[in-house]
Structure 1
Amino acid sequence: MGMEWPPASAQQRKAAVVGSRSAAVLKLGLLVILAGLALRLLVGPAAYLLPPTAAPEGPARHVAAPGRETTRGGAGDVMPSGEFAVTGSESLADSDNRQGSPETQESCNLFHGEWVPNPVGPAYTNASCHFIESPQNCMANGRPDTNYLYWRWKPYGCEVPPFDGKKFLDGMQGKHWALIGDSILRNHVQSLLCLLSKVEDANEVYHDDTFRSRRWHFHSHNFTVSLIWAPFLIQAKIFEDDDGVSTADPQLYLDVLETNWTSQWEGFDYVVISTGQWFFKSAVYWENGAEVGCHSCQNKNLKEMPPEYSFRKALNTAFQFITSSPHKPVVFYRTWAPSHFENGEWFSGGTCNRTVPFKPGEAGDREMDSKMWRIEREAFESAVANKGPDDADHLKLLDTFELSLLRPDGHSGPYRTYHPYEKGMTAKVQNDCLHWCLPGPIDAWNDIIMQMLAKD
């Protein structure tokens, strides 16, 4: 679990170094040491997503990082425009020194751990990165607390070094990355562009009419990043405006993929792909060209089917394409992104007002989140079992579920819009407890991708 073992007593230390002690005392000291080593071997890292009954030993969890306060002014300077400046940085040498031995890193589960205080702060700010879109620009929108910026993801037994933009771009000369999915992928790509902008700013070279699918190019490195809008991955007819208001039930074709990403597949070298929360919407399901049922749809003559059904079908359709395609880019499947609405949903007054991460085990019963996450893992494991010999290690699980679940403090909340309480704290506002503030917890996803690439 990464816990520190208590130091030996003064008598034990003395017995270990003074050779004049009797053989019996020396033997007793050796037995104590061997018993301690045996105990450490028995008490290994906890099973995946089985958190300890108490938080592992280490820095205090529910306090601001050293020298930081939880209100504006304590963590940096808030500029008149709402921009946020952070001073101080960590050298690459320091990050390299924290990585541990290759053996430790190789056996470490990057996705099982906790969030620990990080006095260094974020790698970029809304003052230094212009790729942050307004709904995720929490500081510019007036979020008063800043403690959520001062945490880093710490797997048990190893470290995840900060994202190294120069190493990443140098290694991606002439490559094409695609991020395929819903608005969480849009959130993710903003984080990636901000981290890379410390080395080189990207130029936008394409966008569709809705700006949901976009492409950027890093000229100096001939590196391309594409964002492809495919919220279900499968083919879908959607009748919804930007405010989430639908005029008709979406039509989902569970056995047909969206061609906007499959038609470009052969041009991708690396892919981050995911889907998720859209499957909770009411929808009509189609298979083999016929309606087979629906979820909470208006047509009561159709069989009611749970969202888990369409989710599983869509994943299996996508994985079947990925593993059977002769073109083999490196594919990261990113797991479920949990929301943290409390006291209601996004449409019924739900909020997310927490200002610190959950401790391990503190997130509570998340039955539906856990169910969808298990479906993803089952579909992924089935795809891995069925992949051909040419697939090698091209299909990877980017399992960000646990580390995301522990960060209820990292969402935009009411600060998805500019100064929502300008007319008073009693103003009625809509909260966003699904997408992430930038900078914020989602930056750790890119840190982990960098580490997964380094392992290979």
Structure 2
Amino acid sequence: MEKQKSFSIKPTRFMVFSFTISFSLSLLAFFSIWVIHSTPILHQETHFEFGSGHDPVGDFSTNSSNEVKDAILIGTQLKESVNTSGFSNFSRKDSLILHQETHFDFGSGHDLVGDFSTNSSNEVEDAILINTQSKESVNTSGVSNFSKKDSDLSDTQDSFSHLNGSVSELISSVLIAHKQKSYKSLDLDEVVINGNALIGNENGSESLLGKVEASKNSDIQESTSRKPCDVSKGKWVFDDSYPLYTNVTCPFIDEGFSCQTNGRLDKDYMKWRWQPQDCDIPRFNATAMLNLIRGKSLVFVGDSINRNQWESMLCLLMGAIKDPKRVYEARGRRITKEKGNYCFKFLDYKCTVEFYVSHYLVHEGKARVGKKRLQTLRIDTMDRGASRWKGADIIVFNTAHWWSHFKTKSGVNYYQEGQQVHPHLDVSTAFQKALMTWGSWLDKYIDPQKTKVFFRSSAPSHFRGGQWNAGGHCREASQPLNETARTTPPEKNIILEEVLRQMKIPVTILNITSLSDYRVDGHPSVYGRSPGKSSSGGQDCSHWCLPGVPDTWNELLYFYLQSNTQGT
């Protein structure tokens, strides 16, 4: 009887045992359902189309975790034919990370491949939320082979929300975990940081305060934190580290600009550096400049003042050349005033630096007026040498020096349009018509995707006591002026700006007028010829000694080329 009693089961114990088993099974089922619903299932292959001809592929898988460290959250908005396949209304309440290895190549013709995995998370550490907007292709100059490895995960509440399936806009948010921190090459000029998305502190951790808001704007929102610098406003600063070359180290300075060779003894005119008032411009770096024009042609077109700048550029670039024999004129010409066209080859960089004389940029010809055949200026016809320029990669134009009443014969029977020779036309009207002809030619024949176009503004003269042919002089000047009498831009500069506003092709003005206006000390004066030659020709207060002021013009050109390269 005792044994039977020990093996018997009371009803109360049986009920407790049954309830425990049932509760455990229910809890297990509830937990399984929660796990399934908390882990989103993504398609194994997802296509993002970044413009035509691109088919980036991302492989997605799922995992689970509780922490995310060193992550970048990037929101990208693109225009053009993006996400043509749909993929709209994608949202999730957990997180998305880049797992294993992801490659981003934002250039044209490249694929974007990424292995994505999704996990749940509760914490976000060292996260950066970036909202990137771009037109057409994304960062065409900047980020290639952008990779991240061994990432953790984060919680980005609704980080992917309502991805529009239209061809005109894709707004996506991608959380990129990074331990190698190889994102330093990201072009921040194309990035707008959403300040409402994160808080940072000194130990490097940030906490997300809200979900990512996708921008609905169709145009790029440009950052206003960095305003363009007006490099034409500033002052000359004495700098003993200048000049960047001498008449000994540069063999390309012709007689008219080689003031030291011609007997000028003072040297301070070579040691002034232009300092803009609102920013700094880089010191000219010959190696960097040669790399900017590697495999390209840099062409100067204009009058003898542009030849002045062209010779300065040759001398500046020679500072990076180890073997001078690797630089030569294509036809073996020596630089003189008599020959107008030159092409210097820099063999080590496979580039050319060229000059073509064109006093007016339009055609100088002849026409019959009455019984006489007179020299005329065809202000409706481009210079016949223009075919040599249109294939150039960088062109620096100028014209102004010859647009004077004396050199244009006071406009009497000189300006020609079609078969008509104007009995009289004022120089300003003729100058505007000529620039319109030049602008129309550029719009028709120059490809802005290939060629960068600059126009150097008029360079001032400093004749005192008369003009160049009437006893004008500047010999006594040895220091820059403290101030200039000019209060308004020259009329030619105003006309130039009016013409450029009507053109389709972008043209950058090298505005050197006001900064050069201070440099009364920079002209050759009586040192524009060899000491033994006659001085009956008067003083030269229009051109510039080399080394000297044109070196600054080329520093500005270097600045703009660098800026254009970094901004693309």
TM-score by length of 1: 0.66
Structure 1, unmatched stretches of 5+, are: 1-101, 240-246, 293-301
Q: Tell me, in whole angstroms, the C-alpha distance in 1 between the residues paired with 2:487 and 2:383.
A: 30
Match of 1:330 in 2: 452
SS in structure 2 opposite 1:279?
A: coil
Match of 1:88 in 2: none
Letter in 2 for 1:290: Q
Aligned-residue sequence identity (percent) comes to 30
Q: Tell me, in whole angstroms, the C-alpha distance in 1 between the residues paired with 2:543 and 2:282.
A: 24
Letter in 1 for 2:522: G
Contact 1:335–1:398 (8 Å) recurs in 2: yes
Matches within 5 A, 1:162-201: 162-200=283-321, 201=324
Match of 2:502 in 1: 382
Matches within 5 A, 1:278-427: 278-280=402-404, 281-283=407-409, 284-292=414-422, 302-303=423-424, 305-325=425-445, 327-328=447-448, 329-353=451-475, 354-359=477-482, 362-365=483-486, 370-383=490-503, 387=504, 391=505, 394-419=506-531
Letter in 2 for 1:185: N
Q: How far is the alpha carbon of 1:327 from its aligned partner?
A: 2.5
Q: Tell me, in whole angstroms, the C-alpha distance in 1 between the residues paired with 2:561 and 2:491.
A: 29
Q: Per-residue CA shift, 1:136-157, capped at 9, x if unaligned? A: 0001111122211111111112
Contact 1:104–1:157 (8 Å) recurs in 2: no
Q: How far is the alpha carbon of 1:366 from its aligned partner?
A: 7.9
Q: Tell me, in whole angstroms, the C-alpha distance in 1 between the residues paired with 2:374 and 2:274.
A: 39
- Over 3 Å counting, the alpha-carbon distance change for 1:249 and 1:122 in structure 2 is farther
- Over 3 Å counting, the alpha-carbon distance change for 1:105 and 1:147 in structure 2 is farther
- Over 3 Å counting, the alpha-carbon distance change for 1:104 and 1:453 in structure 2 is farther
- Pair 1:143-2:264 in alignment: yes
Match of 1:37 in 2: none
Match of 1:152 in 2: 273
Match of 1:14 in 2: none
Structure 2, unmatched stretches of 5+, are: 1-222
TM-score by length of 2: 0.53
- Pair 1:254-2:254 in alignment: no
Higher Cα Rg, which structure: 2
- Pair 1:236-2:364 in alignment: yes
Q: Tell me, in whole angstroms, the C-alpha distance in 1 between the residues paired with 2:391 and 2:358.
A: 17
Match of 2:397 in 1: 273
Matches within 5 A, 1:43-58: none
Q: Per-residue CA shift, 1:405-433, capped at 9, x if unaligned? A: 1111101001101237x99xxx7661011
Q: Tell me, in whole angstroms, the C-alpha distance in 2 between the residues paired with 1:342 and 1:185.
A: 23
Counterpart selection for 2:554 from 432, 435, 446: 446
Matches within 5 A, 1:75-114: 107-114=228-235
Q: Tell me, in whole angstroms, the C-alpha distance in 1 between the residues paired with 2:455 and 2:418.
A: 26
SS in structure 1 opposite 2:466?
A: coil
Q: Tell me, in whole angstroms, the C-alpha distance in 1 between the residues paired with 2:375 and 2:247.
A: 36
Letter in 2 for 1:414: V
Q: How far is the alpha carbon of 1:277 from its aligned partner?
A: 1.6
Letter in 2 for 1:287: E
Please identify, of 336-345 and 209-218, the stretch whose mean Cα deviation from structure 2 is larger: 209-218
Q: Tell me, in whole angstroms, the C-alpha distance in 1 between the residues paired with 2:512 and 2:523.
A: 15
Matches within 5 A, 1:1-150: 107-150=228-271
Q: Tell me, in whole angstroms, the C-alpha distance in 1 between the residues paired with 2:546 and 2:373.
A: 33
Q: How far is the alpha carbon of 1:103 from its aligned partner?
A: 8.6
Q: Tell me, in whole angstroms, the C-alpha distance in 2 between the residues paired with 1:358 and 1:397.
A: 24
Q: Tell me, in whole angstroms, the C-alpha distance in 2 between the residues paired with 1:366 and 1:416.
A: 30
Contact 2:300–2:396 (8 Å) recurs in 1: yes
Q: How far is the alpha carbon of 1:352 from its aligned partner?
A: 1.0
Q: Tell me, in whole angstroms, the C-alpha distance in 1 between the residues paired with 2:366 and 2:295.
A: 35
Please report the RMSD computed on the Cα atoms of aligned residues, expressed in angstroms.
2.6
Contact 2:305–2:401 (8 Å) recurs in 1: no
Q: Per-residue CA shift, 1:259-287, capped at 9, x if unaligned? A: 212x1234211100010121111340101
Contact 1:214–1:228 (8 Å) recurs in 2: yes
Q: Per-residue CA shift, 1:19-49, capped at 9, x if unaligned? A: xxxxxxxxxxxxxxxxxxxxxxxxxxxxxxx
- Over 3 Å counting, the alpha-carbon distance change for 1:181 and 1:249 in structure 2 is farther
Match of 1:213 in 2: 341
Q: Per-residue CA shift, 1:180-211, capped at 9, x if unaligned? A: 11111111110000000011242100359942
Higher helix share: 1
SS in structure 1 opposite 2:555?
A: helix
- Over 3 Å counting, the alpha-carbon distance change for 1:164 and 1:248 in structure 2 is farther
- Over 3 Å counting, the alpha-carbon distance change for 1:154 and 1:103 in structure 2 is farther
Match of 1:226 in 2: 354
SS in structure 2 opposite 1:444?
A: helix
Match of 2:210 in 1: none
- Over 3 Å counting, the alpha-carbon distance change for 1:103 and 1:158 in structure 2 is farther
- Over 3 Å counting, the alpha-carbon distance change for 1:440 and 1:104 in structure 2 is farther
SS in structure 2 opposite 1:131?
A: coil
Counterpart selection for 2:545 from 437, 441, 448: 437
Please identify, of 168-177 and 214-223, the stretch whose mean Cα deviation from structure 2 is larger: 168-177
- Pair 1:203-2:338 in alignment: no
Task: Identify which of structures 1 and 2 has the higher relative contact order when contacts are C-alpha pairs closer than 8 Å and 6+ apart.
Answer: 1
- Over 3 Å counting, the alpha-carbon distance change for 1:217 and 1:103 in structure 2 is farther
Q: Tell me, in whole angstroms, the C-alpha distance in 2 between the residues paired with 1:177 and 1:352.
A: 33
Q: Tell me, in whole angstroms, the C-alpha distance in 2 between the residues paired with 1:135 and 1:222.
A: 29
Contact 1:414–1:429 (8 Å) recurs in 2: no
Higher strand share: 2
Q: How far is the alpha carbon of 1:363 from its aligned partner?
A: 2.1
Q: How far is the alpha carbon of 1:454 from its aligned partner?
A: 1.3
Q: How far is the alpha carbon of 1:171 from its aligned partner?
A: 2.3
- Over 3 Å counting, the alpha-carbon distance change for 1:250 and 1:409 in structure 2 is farther
Q: Tell me, in whole angstroms, the C-alpha distance in 2 between the residues paired with 1:142 and 1:248.
A: 44
